[in-house]
Structure 1
Amino acid sequence: MNKSLLKGIGAVVIAAAIFAGGYTAGQRVREDNIISALPRKTLDMTEPPQTLTPSPQPTAGNTETQRHEKNITEKNSKTAVQDGWSEVGKANIKLGENSNAAVKLYTSAQKDENGELMWDDGNMWLLEVEKNGEYYALINKYIQLGKVDFSAGEDENGNVSITAVISTGTGVTVEKYTYNGTVFEGQTVYNSGSLNVTGSTF
């Protein structure tokens, strides 16, 4: 093969390489221009999705906070006892200086001719303080398959405190009531939560 032919072939190869390189560069420029012209939303669709971490949801409320929320019982000029209800417990206390009061526990269960209580599956229960014609209904509610017990007394400083135990077929609640000179402040000091009670001495 003569030198002239070799030179010609070499020139063709070089030209082809230059053409291919220019074509590739041109394609890249055109692609960059197209991408730059796309709307931002379109560009975002081409980006890989971000993994979002859900923010923590608020809980139903702190149990300890709910447990120590205070309920206020103000005086009433009339008793909450209904006709036919039975008194099942009583304690005498002092509210203030030389001021006698009585803590009484009632239930809607009536007594038979022998004085025995005729319990239903559920009964109304009322724990009420009576002082000089004024009444404080500390507990007044319907209780299913359960009862109310209470104790009343004074601490070493003479502060009156009444503790009630409410037992049902699904748990036990202990409530404490204190007198501040005007009203009774009550709070739940223990709550067993929902239980399947299989035995109890209450």
Structure 2
Amino acid sequence: MKRLFLIMIISLSVFSFGCTKNQQEPIEEPTPIDEPVENNTDNEIEEVEIKPSDKVNVEDLTLLDEYNFDFDNDGNEEKISIYTAAQKDSNGVIAWDDGQKWLFAVHDTDKDYILLDEYVQLGNIDFFVYTVDDDFHIATVDGRTASLTLTIYRYDSDKDSFMMSTPYEVSGNVNLIKASYGY
């Protein structure tokens, strides 16, 4: 009996250790980038012109974020604002649903630029304001459970319009797993 038990222990040991990999594959270290990579300008991205409109009524909307900046150099700061139709409760907490209308606008003295006006299902929109050289830009990242979109709005002073382009968009069978924060 002891002999049978000893044979079983040896057999299991040989089988267990003989079937595993004794050495791990070496991990390849990433190669540092010596030179920054330029944006790919071979692929032209279509631009859509967004012209100014009459003032838009935002009285029934909840302001989420805004930033003031005089991008057209007229001496008056324009207001870049993002709103939602979701209302605040008595404690000031937004009563989010699984979807609501969002409005992203630039308010000038006597006109507005409506950059986005749509229903957002299970997601949110963040915006970033920046300049490249002397050109004024706004970027939005629109993350939803079934899509992810980066949109760039560049102000064209000659046309008094924003030129919208979408350099990155993925949709369809997308499963957004994590967003860093959200409304």
Q: TM-score, normalised by structure 1?
A: 0.63
The answer (yes or no) to whether the contact 1:160–1:179 under 8 Å persists in 2 is: yes
What is residue 166 of structure 2 aligned with on the other side? 188
Q: How many residues align?
A: 135
> Using the alignment, how far apart are the partners of 2:166 and 2:69 within structure 1?
22
Match for 1:124 among 101, 105, 113? 101
The structure whose Rg is larger is: 1
Match for 2:85 among 101, 105, 108? 108
Moved more, 173-182 or 98-107: 98-107
> Using the alignment, how far apart are the partners of 2:94 and 2:149 within structure 1?
23
Which structure 1 residue ranges, 4+ long, deviate > 3 Å from structure 2? none
Unaligned runs of 5+ in 1: 1-63
> Using the alignment, how far apart are the partners of 2:119 and 2:67 within structure 1?
22
> Using the alignment, how far apart are the partners of 1:156 and 1:198 within structure 2?
36
Question: Is 1:172 equivalent to 2:151 in the alignment?
Answer: no
SS of the residue corresponding to residue 171 of structure 2 reads coil
Cα offset for 1:95? 2.5
Aligned counterparts, 1:31-110, within 5 A: 68-81=45-58, 83-97=59-73, 98-110=75-87
The answer (yes or no) to whether the contact 1:75–1:183 under 8 Å persists in 2 is: yes
What is residue 201 of structure 1 aligned with on the other side? 180
The answer (yes or no) to whether the contact 1:94–1:101 under 8 Å persists in 2 is: yes
Cα offset for 1:80? 5.0
Cα offset for 1:198? 2.3
Cα offset for 1:70? 1.4
What is residue 147 of structure 1 aligned with on the other side? 124
The answer (yes or no) to whether the contact 1:80–1:137 under 8 Å persists in 2 is: no
> Using the alignment, how far apart are the partners of 1:73 and 1:80 within structure 2?
18
How big is each residue's C-alpha offset from its partner over 1:18-73, in whole Å with a ceiling of 9 and x where there is no partner? Answer: xxxxxxxxxxxxxxxxxxxxxxxxxxxxxxxxxxxxxxxxxxxxxx66xx221211
What is residue 134 of structure 1 aligned with on the other side? 111
> Using the alignment, how far apart are the partners of 1:88 and 1:141 within structure 2?
15
Unaligned runs of 5+ in 2: 1-42
Q: TM-score, normalised by structure 2?
A: 0.69
> Using the alignment, how far apart are the partners of 2:164 and 2:83 within structure 1?
19
